[in-house]
Amino acid sequence: MTNPFLEPLAANGLPSFDRIELPHYREAFEQGISQQEQEIAAIRDNPGEANFHNTIEALERSGALLRRVGDVFWNLTSSDTNDELQALELEMSATMAAHSSRIYADAALFTRVQAVMDSNVTFMGEQQQLLEETHQRFVRAGAQLADNERQRVSDITERLANLTTQFGQNVLKDTNDFQLVLDQGDDVSGLPEFVLGAAKAEAEQRGQPGKYVFTISRSSITPFLQYADNRELREKMYKAYTNCGVASVDNRPIIQEIVKLRTERADLMGYASHADFMLDDRMAKTPGAVRNLLDQIWEPAQKKVAQEAEDLQALIQEDGGNFNLEAWDWWYYTEKLRKARFDLDEEDVKPYFPLNQVRDGAFNVAKRLYGITFTPCDVPVYHPDVEAYEVNDSDGSKVGLFLFDFFMRPSKRGGAWMSAFREQSALDGHETPVIVNCCNFPKSDPCLLGMDEVRTLFHEFGHGLHGLLSKVTYRSLSGTSVKQDFVELPSQIMEHWAMEPEVLKDYARHHETGETIPVDIVEKLRASDTFNQGFATTEYVAACYLDLAWHEPGGDDAGDIGKFERKAMEDIHKIRTVDPRYWSSYFLHIFSGDHYSAGYYVYIWAEVLDADGYDAFKEKGIFDEATANAFRKHVLEVGGSVEPMEAYQNFRGREPSVEPLLKKRGLA
């Protein structure tokens, strides 16, 4: 069989998933590396004077085959992996890091890039942005360092690629290895039918029919902690979750080496810490600016969470419990308090949120805001669970393809994310994007979502719209290729529509009766918007502080990781009964790659933007055409071709304020 990666790509950009076999990846990677090496040599050795076309655009065009195979390979190692793919992933992560380092460490090539930067030519718009981004990539890879220092940076980058890949694989292994298997009886007391149905489906997938299987995937452990009456089992599940990455495999030595290498690289690059190095290329610019934002949120959050803890302890005493509140009790008693305070039980809410209706609700919001439509299409996909949609604009023109991959499985890493099998570009003809949203919902029939899962779907769909509606020339600047602390704006602002009464009436209908969600339930949901926000804010912001602790000066000296973590939490006077959302051994955001390292704060940074930005919609109506068009034009379409704050101000007319965020979280 011929290698599909070496054949012309389909016009719609969709990979030939039905024809790709394991050996095709290695062959395509090898040929792709060889091709790009030849392309780079042609740029470097061009006898003509360096200019934008023969240097910057030529670099942008190079590596087309590598991108094509990489877009498939790295997506599938996250969403549908296996032992063979993981072995190849470990190998190729180091190989690709070395290949990239050779390009960005090429002194003669950088000389040409620098010559274009230093020329007297005035570049406009996207060209100027691409030039600056290209130059920055070389500089941040060590292009301006001495030969021996540049080589050391390359060696560090290659080693980090291997370590971060191993970290992620270890977390997936521990996540898959742990399972709590229960029979019917007292052990499942308190667990509602929708939780048991998902656990029964998980048991069947794992070859244990008739049992209930719970895992430490968030979609499994969270409802278990919410409803299970058996406190010992709640503790067992919680400790298994917080022991991830040190159970069957130990990520702690990997963390220590990662942090030491990041610190060394930052020092070579002339930065005080890895946090300074990473933040220099983000909106925040400095660790001090990040801490300033976190501190503004932390103080009111601590007041709120302390009161929440008192309320839960009082409820324990009222229930006859003779014990102190612990971390594994928080979800359980919070659910009881929610029901008592708002007469709101998630078991009564979930029947109104079957997955297919929530999906269609998100599609309809996109249609009302931006005029785009999603039509199911029959195309090859990489897993039977994946749904494919053709996306068209209001004028009938094709926007791209959109894939939804909803369900958790052992071959998929935890969490939820958006990615692309092809990014939008118009450099050599219009290439429409192929976007994928991955979630980890329990696979059951029917699949009923809780409110957190509804928000997750809308969140990732917001990222998807950012990728789909991109309208730029250069792939490097398209879609979500923006500063890390700006990328969450389109996703988080999209979450607001999920809870709007006008939208809920459209998609929240009982899966059996078709009844629209009652007004009193909607009112209760909205009344409980700020309920438990002290906890939610504390666990998230605590993880942000932990991230900074690792990547500011001193993180590389951590000998005992547990002691280091405790010190980081003592420094911020964190409440004992609320842990950070992630402890270090399974903190995938910061240790499975560089992208979010020293950057877990980006969600709250973007929430300042999205809370302020959504006020623009509320001021004129949540489906106001002019406001939607402005957001599409100035944020979604421009990708990284405009500086983030400029893009936001073009949409909003001013800089954002933190007050809407504090109000939204009930912390004002």
66 is a domain residue: yes
Domain match, 42 and 153 both:
yes
Identify the three-state secondary structure at position 593.
coil
Q: Known catalytic residues?
A: 460
Rounded mean pLDDT, 638-658:
93
Rounded mean pLDDT, 454-460:
97
Number of domains, the chain: 4
Is the pLDDT assigned to residue 668 strictly greater than 80?
no
What pLDDT is attached to residue 344? 87
Domain match, 412 and 462 both:
yes
Give the pLDDT confidence of 113-123 residue by residue, as tens digits: 999 999 989 89
Is the pLDDT assigned to residue 444 strictly greater than 90?
no
364 is a domain residue: yes
Give the pLDDT confidence of 383-397 residue by residue, as tens digits: 999 999 999 999 999
Residue with tokens 């429409």: 432
Give CA–CA dist 545/572, Å, rounded: 8
Domain match, 433 and 462 both:
yes
Give the pLDDT confidence of 44-65 residue by residue, as tens digits: 999 999 999 999 999 999 999 9
Residue of 44, 63, 190, 42 lying closest to 108 (CA atoms): 44
Domain match, 500 and 536 both:
no
324 is a domain residue: yes
Q: Which helix (H) or strand (E) holds 438?
A: strand 434-441
* C-beta atoms surrounding 438 within 10 Å: 23
Domain match, 258 and 208 both:
no
Beta carbons of 98 and 427 less than 8 angstroms apart: no
Give the pLDDT confidence of 28-37 residue by residue, as tens digits: 999 999 999 9
Indicate the residue among 600, 633, 658 that finishes a domain.
Answer: 600
Give the pLDDT confidence of 570-615 residue by residue, as tens digits: 999 999 999 999 999 999 999 999 989 999 999 999 999 999 999 9
Give CA–CA dist 279/281, Å, rounded: 5
DSSP E strands in 88-226: the ranges are: 180-182, 212-214
Residue of 351, 480, 458 lying closest to 404 (CA atoms): 458
Rounded mean pLDDT, 10-22:
95
Give CA–CA dist 652/656, Å, rounded: 8
β-strand pairing of 387-392 with 373-376: antiparallel
Domain match, 190 and 306 both:
no
What pLDDT is attached to residue 529? 86
What pLDDT is attached to residue 663? 85
Domain match, 397 and 496 both:
yes
CA contacts within 13 A on the Cβ side of 298: 19
Is the pLDDT assigned to residue 628 strictly greater than 80?
yes
Q: Is 222 exposed, middle or buried (0-12, 13-18, 19+ CB in 10 A)?
A: middle
Indicate the residue among 496, 527, 558 that finishes a domain.
Answer: 527
103 is a domain residue: yes
Angle between helices 147-177 and 83-104 in degrees, nearest 10: 160
Region of poorest pLDDT, from 166-170, 464-468, 662-666: 662-666
Domain match, 586 and 541 both:
yes
Is the pLDDT assigned to residue 341 strictly greater than 80?
yes
Give the pLDDT confidence of 138-152 residue by residue, as tens digits: 999 999 999 999 999
Rounded mean pLDDT, 514-527:
93
Give CA–CA dist 262/594, Å, rounded: 9
- Measure Cα distances from 592 to 48, 78, 203, 449 in Å: 42, 11, 29, 28
Residue of 101, 103, 91 lying closest to 29 (CA atoms): 91
For every residue of 623-636, DSSP letters joined together read T-HHHHHHHIIIII
Is the pLDDT assigned to residue 185 strictly greater than 80?
no
659 is a domain residue: no
Residue of 627, 635, 594, 281 lying closest to 480 (CA atoms): 635
CATH number at residue 430: 1.10.1370.40
647 is a domain residue: no
What pLDDT is attached to residue 357? 98
Domain match, 116 and 132 both:
yes
Indicate the residue among 147, 172, 197 that finishes a domain.
Answer: 172
What pLDDT is attached to residue 270? 96
Region of poorest pLDDT, from 183-187, 256-260, 477-481, 514-518: 183-187
Rounded mean pLDDT, 399-428:
96
Rounded mean pLDDT, 251-272:
97
Per-chain mean pLDDT for the chain: 95
Residue with tokens 């006859």: 320
Angle between helices 252-268 and 533-551 in degrees, nearest 10: 60
667 pLDDT band, cuts 50/70/90, is: confident
631 is a domain residue: no
Rounded mean pLDDT, 246-262:
96
Domain match, 511 and 537 both:
no
13 is a domain residue: yes
Domain match, 323 and 384 both:
no
657 pLDDT band, cuts 50/70/90, is: confident
Angle between helices 107-118 and 22-44 in degrees, nearest 10: 60
Residues in contact with 223: Cβ distance below 8 Å, sequence separation at least 6, in sequence order: 191, 194, 195, 198, 450
Domain match, 332 and 389 both:
no
Rounded mean pLDDT, 218-241:
95
Give CA–CA dist 71/77, Å, rounded: 10
What pLDDT is attached to residue 1? 66
Expressed as residue numbers, the domain containing 389 is 351-527
